[in-house]
Amino acid sequence: MFDRRRRAALGALAAALVGPVRAQRSPDRLITVGVEADLQASGLAARLRTAVARDTGLAIDWRPGPSGLLLPQLERGELDAALTQAPELELALERQNLVHDRRLIASSDFVLVGPAPLKATKKLPARGDPAGIAGERDAAAALGRIVAAGERGETAFVTASEPSGARALEQKLWKAAGPQPVGPWLRTAGPGPTAVLALARETGGYAFVERGLWSALGAGSGLAVLVEGDPRLQVSYHVMRSFRVNHPGGKLLVNWLAGPNGRRVVAGFGRGYRRPA
């Protein structure tokens, strides 16, 4: 009995002495990470945060926003890491040694949505899709038809207002389609990717929407996917760390997201997201 009590007392004393040392060595578990707002709106960011916390103990504080604003924040050291969709800007910062540990996390694509085409009935004529782009595989050609319909006063196109991945993709496709159009039919949404979808629904117009976001929020909008499959609509998401800060859990986070556990979460989430090959 005495030996058991003595061992218990010695064990408690050891725990009291070692515990504070371990606590001092334990890295800060709260990590601030910028995330492209599409991933937040689609629900993938929340799924990743839950899985990261379960497997690593890290608590991610997501800071959603457009990639074009998040990456300068990362460069300035205002974020520990960022998960973005702006490959040209990411690579430029990487070449200047302003970010590092850039790793591919997921791939997805954008779809061009618009008023759902409805066939004529005995009582009603055919309606919807005034630009006639349903089934088109060339996104730039579809934009050309939307311009013509917009100039006739038959439709609207909703564009993103922030420097997001969606905005960068739009600009490339407008350049391929011809001169940047102007006119009252070209509508600019408020901040955030859900604002683009909301304004397209309100105006019965066309818009580019990330597939994961569309899968999460597109039902019941009165809109439909009209153009998809153009290779230029493919996008990728990368995670990277800032050189100006060195969060003790930063490397762990990047390795988890880019490793087999992160890939399984992306693949299991669905909604058009694909894990890296």
Which tens digit of pLDDT belongs to each residue from 157-203? 999 999 998 899 999 999 998 888 889 999 999 998 899 999 999 99
Give the start-end residues of each E strand in the chain: 30-36, 59-65, 81-84, 99-115, 157-159, 186-188, 207-210, 223-227, 234-242
Going by C-alpha positions, the residue among 244, 237, 246, 255 that lies closest to residue 74 is 244
**pLDDT the model gives residue 123:** 62
**pLDDT the model gives residue 117:** 86
- Are 183 and 172 in contact, with CB atoms under 8 Å apart? no
Average pLDDT over residues 6-10: 47
Look up residue 219 and give its DSSP letter.
T
Residues of the chain within CATH 3.40.190.10 domain(s) are 29-108+236-269, 112-233
Contacts of 130 (CB under 8 A, 6+ apart): 115, 149, 154, 155
112-233 fold: D-Maltodextrin-Binding Protein; domain 2 (3.40.190)
pTM of the model: 0.85
User: Which of the listed CATH numbers 3.30.1330.90, 3.10.20.740, 3.40.190.10, 3.30.565.10 matches domain 29-108+236-269?
Assistant: 3.40.190.10
- Are 125 and 119 in contact, with CB atoms under 8 Å apart? no
**Each residue of 33-89: pLDDT tens digit?**
999 999 999 999 999 999 999 999 999 999 999 999 999 999 999 999 999 999 999
- Classify residue 120 as left (phi > 0), alpha (psi -120 to 50) or beta: beta
